[in-house]
Amino acid sequence: MSKTQIRHVVVTTDKDKRGVFFGELQSHKKDVVILKNAQMAVYWSAATKGVLGLASIGPQKGSKITPPIPCITLNGVTSVMDTTIEAVNTWKSQPWN
């Protein structure tokens, strides 16, 4: 990945923190991730087809996605998933139904 290339990811955290986030990956060391322009999936609908659907097609109608914040540091990370362009565009639309 070049310095100018942005890597959009969906990140999950462990059972104690229980969060699912989307953003631009800035750093990933062990179980700590820093995301820029980060959003959280508060709820995703059945049409999203699960957590992998958030990375593949993005949050679908009926989902609840927060507006972005400038930066977040996440601890207890259990997965970092690359996203498709389709998913990036859907996340950026900030659905909250």
Kindly report the backbone phi and psi dihedral angles of residue 53, in degrees, each rounded to the nearest multiple of 5, phi listed first.
-65, -35
Residue 97 has pLDDT above 80, yes or no: no
- pLDDT digit string (tens) for 12-60? 999 888 899 999 999 999 999 999 999 999 999 999 999 999 999 999 9
pTM exceeds 0.85: yes
What domains does the chain contain, in order, with CATH numbers? 8-92 (2.30.30.100)
With 0-12 CB in 10 A as exposed, 13-18 as middle and 19+ as buried, what is 66?
Answer: middle
| Both tokens assigned to 10 | 């969906």
What pLDDT is stored for residue 30 in this prediction?
Answer: 94
- pLDDT digit string (tens) for 57-90? 999 999 999 999 999 999 999 999 999 999 999 9
